């Protein structure tokens, strides 16, 4: 199921700087969340497993079942929305998993995704948004309940956490221009590809041609790439969000959805 991935020199340097102990593995099968039996196979490659668990009170009663699994003591790796690369610090050493869905993608883009995961591992942040929002997640769900179903709330929460991570990681990415120009160019190119879609986002939201969750995913990804997101997401691209985290995100959601009523 897992095989060590050969790293280009730039990626090896990023790992040495941000997550020197991390293993980078190719996966034989694609996944959103690793099936338990396959997740346990990671135990053959690492020194130990330490599954994360969270209080059940953090998970609203109508939340997707995956959140309940993630909050429990079950060894859960990966979640919908992770894309082609996932990572976990529930293992010692940490592990970065590259999924086969990325086969055929441009090599610089894949290398950037792996580099991004290594930087995130080194930030000592939660793997998924539930650990970020914590006891405030039910407050976020309540703030958007009139307009988003539980799946939409999940999608928004994941996007908001992506934006929060992006406020830290983009400083690292921007600093690669001289040391790791291939990774820098891939980061810059991905951001530039967002521009045409971002330009139409306000009108698409107004007409309902795009869901709020999909719009949030796009806009919050722009923050990671140093691209200014449109209203109402621009308020997330601030030092205040980086400082206050989940409390700021919940307050933003309350204000944003009140204005939509």
Domain boundaries, the chain: 2-260
The model carries a pTM of 0.95
At residue 54, φ and ψ (nearest 5 deg) are -135, 160
Asked if residue 123 lies in contact with residue 169, where contact means CB atoms within 8 angstroms, the answer is: yes
Which one has a higher pLDDT value, 39 or 17?
Answer: 17
Asked if residue 225 lies in contact with residue 112, where contact means CB atoms within 8 angstroms, the answer is: no
For residue range 112-146, list pLDDT tens digits in order.
Answer: 999 999 999 999 899 999 999 999 999 999 999 99
Asked if residue 106 lies in contact with residue 2, where contact means CB atoms within 8 angstroms, the answer is: no
Dist CA 199 CA 222 (whole Å): 12
Dihedral angle of Cα 139, 141, 146, 149, to the nearest 10 degrees:
-170
CA 78 from chain centre, in angstroms, equals 10
Which one has a higher pLDDT value, 38 or 59?
Answer: 59
**Which pLDDT does position 260 carry in this prediction?**
83
Confidence of residue 261 (pLDDT cuts 50, 70, 90): low
DSSP per-residue letters across the chain: -EEEPP--HHHHHHHHHH-TT-EEEEESS--SS--HHHHHHGGGTSSEE------GGGS-TTS-HHHHHHHSSS-----TT-TTEEEESSEES-EEEE-GGGTTS-HHHHHHHHHHHHHHHHTT--SSHHHHHGGGHHHHHHHHTTT--HHHHHHHHHHHHHHHHHHHHHHHHHTHHHH-HHHHHHHHHHHHHHHHHHHHHHHHHHHTSS-HHHHHHHHHHHHHTTPPPPTTGGGGSSHHHHHHTHHHHHHHHHHHHHHH-
For residue range 149-199, list pLDDT tens digits in order.
Answer: 999 999 999 999 999 999 999 999 999 999 999 999 999 999 999 999 999
**Which pLDDT does position 206 carry in this prediction?**
87
Nearest-10 crossing angle of helices 181-207, 9-18: 80
**Which pLDDT does position 36 carry in this prediction?**
81
For residue range 210-256, list pLDDT tens digits in order.
Answer: 999 999 999 999 999 999 999 999 999 999 999 999 999 999 999 99
For residue range 43-90, list pLDDT tens digits in order.
Answer: 999 999 999 999 999 999 999 998 999 999 889 999 988 999 999 999
């Amino acid at each position: 199921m897992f095989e060590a991935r050969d790293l280009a020199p730039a990626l090896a340097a990023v790992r040495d700087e941000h997550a020197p102990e991390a293993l980078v593995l190719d996966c034989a099968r694609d996944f959103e969340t690793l099936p338990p039996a396959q997740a346990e196979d990671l135990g053959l490659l690492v020194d130990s497993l330490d599954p994360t668990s969270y209080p059940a009170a953090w998970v609203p009663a109508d939340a997707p079942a995956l959140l309940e699994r993630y909050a429990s003591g079950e060894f859960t790796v990966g979640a919908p929305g992770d894309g082609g690369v996932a990572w976990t610090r529930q293992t010692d050493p940490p592990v970065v998993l590259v999924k086969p869905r990325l086969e055929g993608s441009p090599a610089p883009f894949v290398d950037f995704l792996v580099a991004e995961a290594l930087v995130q591992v080194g930030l000592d942040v939660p793997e998924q948004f539930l650990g970020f929002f914590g006891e405030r997640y039910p407050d976020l769900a309540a703030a958007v309940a009139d307009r988003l179903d539980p799946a939409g709330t999940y999608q928004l929460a994941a996007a908001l956490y992506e934006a929060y991570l992006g406020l830290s990681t983009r400083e690292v990415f921007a600093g690669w221009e001289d040391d790791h120009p291939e990774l820098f160019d891939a980061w810059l190119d991905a951001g530039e590809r967002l521009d045409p879609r971002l330009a139409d986002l306000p009108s698409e939201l107004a007409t309902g041609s795009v869901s709020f969750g999909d719009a949030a995913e796009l806009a919050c990804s722009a923050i990671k790439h140093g691209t200014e997101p449109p209203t109402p997401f621009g308020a997330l691209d601030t030092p205040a969000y980086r400082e206050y985290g989940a409390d700021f995100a919940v307050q933003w959601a309350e204000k944003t959805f009140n204005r939509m009523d």
